[in-house]
Amino acid sequence: MKRMAVVLAAGQGKRMKSKLYKVLHPVCGKPMVGHVLDTVKATGCQRTVVVVGHGAEKVKAYVGQDAEYVLQETQLGTGHAVKQAKDLLGGEAGTTVVICGDTPLVTAETLEGLMALHEGQKAAATVLTAVMEQPAGYGRIIRGDDGGVQKIVEQKDCTPEEAAVNEINTGTYCFDNAKLFAALEKVTNSNNQQEYYLTDVIGILRAQGDIVLGYQAHDAAESIGVNDRLALSEAENLMRQRINREHMLNGVTIIDPASTYIAADVVIGADTTLYPGTVLKGKTVIGEDCLIGPSSEIEDSVIMNGAEVKHSVLNQAQVGARTSVGPFAYLRPGAVLGEEVKIGDFVEIKNASIGDGSKVSHLSYVGDATVGKNVNVGCGAITVNYDGYNKSRTEIGDDAFIGSNVNLVAPVTVGKGAFVVAGSTITRSVSENDLAIARVRQENKPGYAEKIRTRAKAKKDQSSPS
């Protein structure tokens, strides 16, 4: 049976009080609509239509080619929103799931269970429900004697008996596609809000004798729809717990889950340990047997097996196997470290590759450079890569030794096995196995320090008031 999805993403979200359109607000590093689309995709939907309205171009720019689009120019209710997809989906046969773009916590397992029940029972509609201890504000699910959904009653319209029901409507549905669009033609806006409600379809289908079912979510948290910053924070917290739990069940040690942030798309190998304060963002991939943290922030980076990152910031960097980074290192975009490299404290690497076994142990900057294997870069050494107009590269061969406080003024090459003496400013290339020294010859002036102190004291005494 063909599966389709309609994702409702037209609302502005005024209660968010934000310039960013509601469904684009991130939860664990991914816009809410992105979570929903991932869930829909995981259930095998062959066509997905996103209903856009406010911020349509920005929503489409984020989603890209992963969906088809229809525009709801004026927001006249959920039924009106779904009806905009008629030209695209109205002629299809199969199952259509309707889900809101601000419900990031709905899981693929729950959505698959909903669709499986719907298809197995040949229902016209199946409502995703949840049980809440405090259901105030939610539409109630009223079931008939046969256990099917008889109607959905909004909070303001509930009788005392209906208000006591704690099974609520989550706003996610499955429909027989043909019956959905046929019923939408019968929906009216004869209500106080003068809107076309998708919930009215349930009553229409039930009245004409169709099967309408309810599928209860195992976790009521999945029903959260994000309408303000408080709900966004709650969704973020619940999603973070879910992500951390999944990684721990997959063999990752998280010392303090409450202080560890892992974005939705991060991949982590087994037997890796995350220490408190770790922040993993974007599409970061971490291998097995790594030690990450404490207090490290890593974004869109790849870290290979057995590497260690302590108290450091990495952005679009690659770290080889068994390499150590930090404490207090900064790997900027384009930093590529080989295997068994050591990057120590207060070292910054930018757009540079560091070969296997090389060391940049402390207080150095290596930018726009290629550093070979088994190179030692001493304390305070830097590549001078920018002349105010252009960036230039530095090339350092295998087994070279760069002394402390060396300035390598690019473009410049230091050959294989070369030795650059501490304190040198190198402006010309150094050949293989040569020693380079570029500093003014030291001159000692006997007793001159005492003369300076005497002169300074006399000047101070002359300027003091008598």
Annotated binding site for Mg(2+): 102, 227
Phi, psi of 153 (to 5 degrees): -115, 125
CA distance linking residue 260 with residue 241, whole number of Å: 10
CA distance linking residue 313 with residue 299, whole number of Å: 8
Q: CB count, 10 Å around CB of 165?
A: 16
Catalytic residue among 25, 118, 247, 362: 362
Q: Is 393 exposed, middle or buried (0-12, 13-18, 19+ CB in 10 A)?
A: middle
Query: Two tokens at 192?
Result: 């106080």
Query: Two tokens at 66?
Result: 């992963």
The amino acid at residue 75 is Q
Binding residues: 8-11, 22, 72, 77-78, 102, 139, 154, 169, 227, 332, 350, 365, 376, 385-386, 404, 422, 439
How far is the CA of 246 from the CAs of 31, 110, 251, 268, in angstroms? 20, 16, 9, 10
Kind of pairing, strands 167-176 and 95-100?
antiparallel
For this structure, is 362 an active site residue? yes
57 close to 70: Cβ distance less than 8 angstroms: no
CA distance linking residue 112 with residue 99, whole number of Å: 13
Binding residues for UDP-N-acetyl-alpha-D-glucosamine: 8-11, 22, 72, 77-78, 139, 154, 169, 227, 332, 350, 365, 376
Q: Is 388 exposed, middle or buried (0-12, 13-18, 19+ CB in 10 A)?
A: exposed
Rg (CA), the chain: 32
Q: Which residues are catalytic?
A: 362
